[in-house]
Amino acid sequence: MKVIGDPQKLAKITRQISCKGKSIGFIPTMGALHPGHLSLIKQAVKDNDIVVVSIFVNPAQFGPKEDFKKYPRPLKKDLALCRKAGVDLVFLPAEKIMYPQGYSTFVEAGELGAKLCGISRPGHFGGVATVVAKLLNIVAPNILYLGQKDAQQAIIITRMIKDLNFPVKVKVMPTVRQKDGLALSSRNIYLNNEQRKQAPVLSKALSLAESLVAGGQRDAARIISRMRQLIEKKKQAKIDYVAIVDLEKLESIKKINQSCLIALAVRIGKIRLIDNTIISV
Ligand code: PAF
Protein backbone atom coordinates (compact mmCIF):
# COMPACT_ATOMS: atom_id res chain seq x y z
CA MET A 1 0.00 0.00 0.00
CA LYS A 2 1.35 3.41 -1.00
CA VAL A 3 0.60 6.58 0.98
CA ILE A 4 0.77 9.68 -1.19
CA GLY A 5 0.37 13.33 -0.21
CA ASP A 6 1.06 14.98 -3.56
CA PRO A 7 -2.07 15.28 -5.77
CA GLN A 8 -0.05 15.40 -8.99
CA LYS A 9 1.85 12.24 -8.09
CA LEU A 10 -1.39 10.44 -7.25
CA ALA A 11 -3.09 11.69 -10.42
CA LYS A 12 -0.17 10.42 -12.51
CA ILE A 13 -0.35 6.96 -10.92
CA THR A 14 -4.14 6.65 -11.29
CA ARG A 15 -3.99 7.79 -14.95
CA GLN A 16 -1.35 5.12 -15.64
CA ILE A 17 -3.57 2.50 -13.97
CA SER A 18 -6.57 3.57 -16.08
CA CYS A 19 -4.46 3.51 -19.27
CA LYS A 20 -3.74 -0.15 -18.57
CA GLY A 21 -7.51 -0.76 -18.58
CA LYS A 22 -7.70 -1.35 -14.82
CA SER A 23 -10.66 -0.09 -12.80
CA ILE A 24 -10.32 2.19 -9.79
CA GLY A 25 -12.69 2.28 -6.81
CA PHE A 26 -12.51 5.33 -4.54
CA ILE A 27 -13.64 5.94 -0.97
CA PRO A 28 -13.28 9.53 0.28
CA THR A 29 -12.99 9.72 4.09
CA MET A 30 -12.02 12.05 6.88
CA GLY A 31 -10.27 9.17 8.65
CA ALA A 32 -11.29 7.80 12.07
CA LEU A 33 -12.24 4.73 10.08
CA HIS A 34 -14.88 2.36 11.46
CA PRO A 35 -16.65 -0.73 10.11
CA GLY A 36 -18.93 1.54 8.04
CA HIS A 37 -15.92 2.78 6.03
CA LEU A 38 -14.53 -0.76 5.93
CA SER A 39 -17.75 -2.03 4.33
CA LEU A 40 -17.25 0.53 1.52
CA ILE A 41 -13.62 -0.54 1.11
CA LYS A 42 -14.64 -4.21 1.07
CA GLN A 43 -17.14 -3.58 -1.72
CA ALA A 44 -14.59 -1.51 -3.67
CA VAL A 45 -11.98 -4.29 -3.37
CA LYS A 46 -14.56 -6.75 -4.70
CA ASP A 47 -15.57 -4.53 -7.65
CA ASN A 48 -12.24 -3.04 -8.79
CA ASP A 49 -8.63 -3.79 -9.69
CA ILE A 50 -7.31 -0.91 -7.58
CA VAL A 51 -8.75 0.79 -4.48
CA VAL A 52 -7.92 4.34 -3.43
CA VAL A 53 -8.91 5.82 -0.04
CA SER A 54 -8.45 9.49 0.79
CA ILE A 55 -7.98 10.63 4.38
CA PHE A 56 -8.49 14.37 4.72
CA VAL A 57 -10.31 16.28 7.44
CA ASN A 58 -11.79 18.93 5.18
CA PRO A 59 -11.88 22.35 6.88
CA ALA A 60 -14.26 23.72 4.22
CA GLN A 61 -17.15 21.59 5.52
CA PHE A 62 -16.92 22.60 9.18
CA GLY A 63 -18.71 25.65 10.57
CA PRO A 64 -16.81 28.08 12.83
CA LYS A 65 -18.32 26.52 15.97
CA GLU A 66 -17.93 22.91 14.84
CA ASP A 67 -15.41 20.26 15.81
CA PHE A 68 -12.75 20.66 13.07
CA LYS A 69 -9.86 21.03 15.52
CA LYS A 70 -10.90 18.19 17.77
CA TYR A 71 -12.14 15.85 15.02
CA PRO A 72 -10.44 12.46 15.72
CA ARG A 73 -7.28 11.80 13.65
CA PRO A 74 -6.02 8.32 14.56
CA LEU A 75 -3.78 8.16 11.48
CA LYS A 76 -1.62 5.17 12.42
CA LYS A 77 -4.68 3.05 13.14
CA ASP A 78 -6.41 4.24 9.95
CA LEU A 79 -3.44 3.30 7.79
CA ALA A 80 -3.23 -0.13 9.44
CA LEU A 81 -6.95 -0.69 8.77
CA CYS A 82 -6.54 0.37 5.12
CA ARG A 83 -3.59 -1.96 4.65
CA LYS A 84 -5.48 -4.87 6.21
CA ALA A 85 -8.57 -4.18 4.10
CA GLY A 86 -6.60 -4.39 0.84
CA VAL A 87 -6.38 -0.70 -0.09
CA ASP A 88 -3.72 -0.02 -2.76
CA LEU A 89 -3.31 3.75 -2.48
CA VAL A 90 -4.03 6.17 0.35
CA PHE A 91 -4.24 9.83 -0.58
CA LEU A 92 -3.22 11.84 2.49
CA PRO A 93 -2.89 15.49 1.49
CA ALA A 94 -1.94 18.33 3.83
CA GLU A 95 -4.46 21.16 4.29
CA LYS A 96 -2.20 23.67 2.52
CA ILE A 97 -1.92 21.33 -0.46
CA MET A 98 -5.71 21.10 -0.87
CA TYR A 99 -6.36 24.76 -0.03
CA PRO A 100 -3.18 26.71 -0.77
CA GLN A 101 -2.93 30.43 -0.16
CA GLY A 102 -5.11 32.25 -2.64
CA TYR A 103 -7.53 29.34 -3.04
CA SER A 104 -10.84 30.82 -4.17
CA THR A 105 -12.98 28.33 -6.12
CA PHE A 106 -15.90 26.57 -4.43
CA VAL A 107 -18.73 24.32 -5.57
CA GLU A 108 -22.19 25.26 -4.28
CA ALA A 109 -24.69 22.59 -3.30
CA GLY A 110 -27.67 24.81 -4.20
CA GLU A 111 -31.12 24.18 -2.72
CA LEU A 112 -30.30 20.57 -1.85
CA GLY A 113 -27.56 21.81 0.43
CA ALA A 114 -29.84 24.27 2.22
CA LYS A 115 -32.31 21.62 3.42
CA LEU A 116 -32.30 19.12 6.33
CA CYS A 117 -28.76 19.23 7.82
CA GLY A 118 -28.02 22.33 5.72
CA ILE A 119 -30.39 24.38 7.89
CA SER A 120 -28.24 24.07 11.01
CA ARG A 121 -24.98 23.61 9.05
CA PRO A 122 -25.00 26.40 6.44
CA GLY A 123 -22.19 26.00 3.92
CA HIS A 124 -21.44 22.43 5.02
CA PHE A 125 -22.53 20.72 1.80
CA GLY A 126 -20.78 23.30 -0.38
CA GLY A 127 -17.59 22.36 1.47
CA VAL A 128 -18.31 18.66 0.95
CA ALA A 129 -19.08 19.13 -2.77
CA THR A 130 -15.93 21.23 -3.24
CA VAL A 131 -13.57 18.69 -1.71
CA VAL A 132 -15.24 15.72 -3.43
CA ALA A 133 -15.00 17.51 -6.81
CA LYS A 134 -11.29 18.12 -6.16
CA LEU A 135 -10.74 14.52 -5.08
CA LEU A 136 -12.58 13.14 -8.12
CA ASN A 137 -10.38 15.24 -10.40
CA ILE A 138 -7.24 13.99 -8.67
CA VAL A 139 -8.17 10.30 -8.34
CA ALA A 140 -10.29 9.93 -11.52
CA PRO A 141 -11.97 6.74 -10.25
CA ASN A 142 -14.46 4.53 -12.11
CA ILE A 143 -16.65 4.05 -9.04
CA LEU A 144 -17.15 6.30 -6.01
CA TYR A 145 -18.38 4.61 -2.82
CA LEU A 146 -20.54 6.50 -0.32
CA GLY A 147 -22.47 5.49 2.80
CA GLN A 148 -26.25 5.66 3.10
CA LYS A 149 -25.85 7.03 6.64
CA ASP A 150 -25.03 10.39 5.08
CA ALA A 151 -28.03 10.23 2.76
CA GLN A 152 -28.19 13.96 2.01
CA GLN A 153 -24.47 13.99 1.25
CA ALA A 154 -24.89 11.02 -1.12
CA ILE A 155 -27.81 12.72 -2.91
CA ILE A 156 -25.89 16.01 -3.25
CA ILE A 157 -22.72 14.33 -4.53
CA THR A 158 -24.72 12.21 -7.00
CA ARG A 159 -26.40 15.39 -8.23
CA MET A 160 -23.05 17.20 -8.54
CA ILE A 161 -21.57 14.29 -10.52
CA LYS A 162 -24.49 14.52 -12.94
CA ASP A 163 -24.52 18.33 -13.11
CA LEU A 164 -20.75 18.72 -13.58
CA ASN A 165 -20.34 15.68 -15.87
CA PHE A 166 -17.87 13.72 -13.78
CA PRO A 167 -17.33 10.38 -15.56
CA VAL A 168 -17.80 8.25 -12.43
CA LYS A 169 -20.44 5.83 -11.14
CA VAL A 170 -21.72 6.13 -7.58
CA LYS A 171 -22.44 3.17 -5.29
CA VAL A 172 -24.28 3.98 -2.08
CA MET A 173 -23.78 1.24 0.51
CA PRO A 174 -26.10 0.41 3.45
CA THR A 175 -25.56 1.93 6.89
CA VAL A 176 -23.59 -0.27 9.26
CA ARG A 177 -25.08 -0.39 12.76
CA GLN A 178 -24.16 -1.57 16.22
CA LYS A 179 -26.26 -4.36 17.75
CA ASP A 180 -28.62 -1.90 19.41
CA GLY A 181 -29.23 -0.08 16.11
CA LEU A 182 -26.89 2.92 16.56
CA ALA A 183 -25.50 3.89 13.14
CA LEU A 184 -21.71 3.85 13.09
CA SER A 185 -20.17 7.31 12.96
CA SER A 186 -16.72 8.71 13.74
CA ARG A 187 -18.47 11.06 16.18
CA ASN A 188 -19.91 8.23 18.35
CA ILE A 189 -16.65 8.21 20.33
CA TYR A 190 -17.65 11.59 21.82
CA LEU A 191 -20.68 10.00 23.58
CA ASN A 192 -20.31 9.33 27.29
CA ASN A 193 -21.82 6.16 28.81
CA GLU A 194 -25.24 7.68 29.50
CA GLN A 195 -25.41 9.37 26.09
CA ARG A 196 -24.36 6.13 24.40
CA LYS A 197 -27.35 4.43 26.09
CA GLN A 198 -29.72 7.11 24.75
CA ALA A 199 -28.24 7.34 21.22
CA PRO A 200 -30.07 4.30 19.72
CA VAL A 201 -33.27 6.34 20.00
CA LEU A 202 -32.58 7.64 16.48
CA SER A 203 -32.73 4.20 14.90
CA LYS A 204 -35.66 3.25 17.19
CA ALA A 205 -37.60 6.25 15.86
CA LEU A 206 -36.84 5.15 12.30
CA SER A 207 -37.98 1.59 13.05
CA LEU A 208 -41.18 3.01 14.52
CA ALA A 209 -41.74 4.99 11.30
CA GLU A 210 -41.10 1.88 9.19
CA SER A 211 -43.59 -0.15 11.21
CA LEU A 212 -46.22 2.61 11.01
CA VAL A 213 -45.84 2.70 7.22
CA ALA A 214 -45.95 -1.11 7.08
CA GLY A 215 -49.17 -0.93 9.11
CA GLY A 216 -50.74 1.36 6.49
CA GLN A 217 -50.05 4.82 7.91
CA ARG A 218 -49.36 7.24 5.04
CA ASP A 219 -49.71 10.61 6.79
CA ALA A 220 -46.20 12.07 7.14
CA ALA A 221 -47.14 14.56 9.89
CA ARG A 222 -48.56 11.77 12.08
CA ILE A 223 -45.49 9.61 11.59
CA ILE A 224 -43.17 12.53 12.40
CA SER A 225 -45.21 13.34 15.50
CA ARG A 226 -44.93 9.73 16.79
CA MET A 227 -41.17 9.75 16.11
CA ARG A 228 -40.73 13.06 17.96
CA GLN A 229 -42.71 11.75 20.96
CA LEU A 230 -40.44 8.72 21.18
CA ILE A 231 -37.24 10.77 20.94
CA GLU A 232 -38.43 13.39 23.44
CA LYS A 233 -38.68 10.67 26.12
CA LYS A 234 -34.87 10.66 26.24
CA LYS A 235 -33.64 13.32 28.64
CA GLN A 236 -30.47 14.25 26.74
CA ALA A 237 -32.06 14.20 23.28
CA LYS A 238 -32.76 17.48 21.53
CA ILE A 239 -34.29 17.20 18.07
CA ASP A 240 -32.70 19.21 15.27
CA TYR A 241 -35.13 17.88 12.66
CA VAL A 242 -37.29 14.88 11.75
CA ALA A 243 -38.32 14.98 8.10
CA ILE A 244 -39.99 12.90 5.43
CA VAL A 245 -38.83 14.06 2.00
CA ASP A 246 -38.69 12.94 -1.60
CA LEU A 247 -35.47 11.34 -2.79
CA GLU A 248 -34.58 13.82 -5.50
CA LYS A 249 -35.30 17.35 -4.30
CA LEU A 250 -35.46 16.59 -0.58
CA GLU A 251 -38.80 18.38 -0.36
CA SER A 252 -41.22 17.50 2.44
CA ILE A 253 -44.02 15.20 1.43
CA LYS A 254 -47.42 15.05 3.09
CA LYS A 255 -48.57 11.58 2.05
CA ILE A 256 -46.30 8.60 1.65
CA ASN A 257 -47.38 7.31 -1.74
CA GLN A 258 -43.93 7.39 -3.32
CA SER A 259 -40.50 6.19 -2.23
CA CYS A 260 -39.09 8.66 0.26
CA LEU A 261 -36.37 9.39 2.77
CA ILE A 262 -37.13 9.59 6.48
CA ALA A 263 -34.22 11.47 8.01
CA LEU A 264 -33.45 12.92 11.39
CA ALA A 265 -30.76 14.77 13.29
CA VAL A 266 -30.75 14.73 17.08
CA ARG A 267 -28.33 16.16 19.57
CA ILE A 268 -27.53 13.76 22.39
CA GLY A 269 -25.98 16.17 24.86
CA LYS A 270 -23.69 18.19 22.59
CA ILE A 271 -23.17 15.40 20.05
CA ARG A 272 -25.19 15.82 16.88
CA LEU A 273 -26.15 12.45 15.39
CA ILE A 274 -27.93 11.73 12.10
CA ASP A 275 -29.67 8.69 10.70
CA ASN A 276 -32.20 7.83 8.01
CA THR A 277 -34.14 5.13 6.26
CA ILE A 278 -35.49 4.88 2.73
CA ILE A 279 -39.11 3.79 2.45
CA SER A 280 -39.98 2.06 -0.80
CA VAL A 281 -43.68 2.20 -1.55
O1 PAF B 1 -18.43 11.74 4.69
C2 PAF B 1 -17.28 12.21 4.88
O3 PAF B 1 -16.46 11.64 5.58
C4 PAF B 1 -16.92 13.53 4.22
O5 PAF B 1 -18.00 14.39 4.16
C6 PAF B 1 -16.27 13.36 2.83
C7 PAF B 1 -17.23 12.76 1.82
C8 PAF B 1 -15.04 12.49 2.95
C9 PAF B 1 -15.83 14.74 2.30
O10 PAF B 1 -14.91 15.35 3.14
Q: What is the CATH number of the domain that holds 114?
A: 3.40.50.620
Looking at the structure, do residues 40 and 153 belong to the same domain, yes or no? yes
The active-site residue out of 27, 37, 89, 234 is: 37
Catalytic residue list contains 37:
yes
Rounded Cα distance, 207 and 209, in Å:
5
Residue 180 in any domain: the answer is no
Looking at the structure, do residues 26 and 106 belong to the same domain, yes or no? yes
Rounded Cα distance, 200 and 206, in Å:
10
Q: Which residue range forms the structural domain that includes residue 120?
A: 2-173
Helix pair angle (75-85, 35-47), 10° resolution:
30
Ligand 1 center from residue 137 Cα (angstroms) = 16
Mean pLDDT of residues grouped by 10 in the chain (281 residues)? 98 98 98 98 98 98 95 97 98 98 98 98 98 99 98 98 98 98 96 98 98 98 98 97 98 96 97 97 83
Rounded Cα distance, 279 and 175, in Å:
14
Looking at the structure, do residues 169 and 190 belong to the same domain, yes or no? no
pLDDT at 281: 83
Ligand 1 center from residue 20 Cα (angstroms) = 29
Ligand 1 center from residue 224 Cα (angstroms) = 28
Q: Please name the residue whose Cα sits nearest to atom 2 of ligand 1.
A: 29
- Quick check: CB of 29 below 6 Å from ligand 1? yes
Burial of 11 (0-12, 13-18, 19+ CB in 10 A): middle
Looking at the structure, do residues 128 and 31 belong to the same domain, yes or no? yes
Residue 192 in any domain: the answer is yes
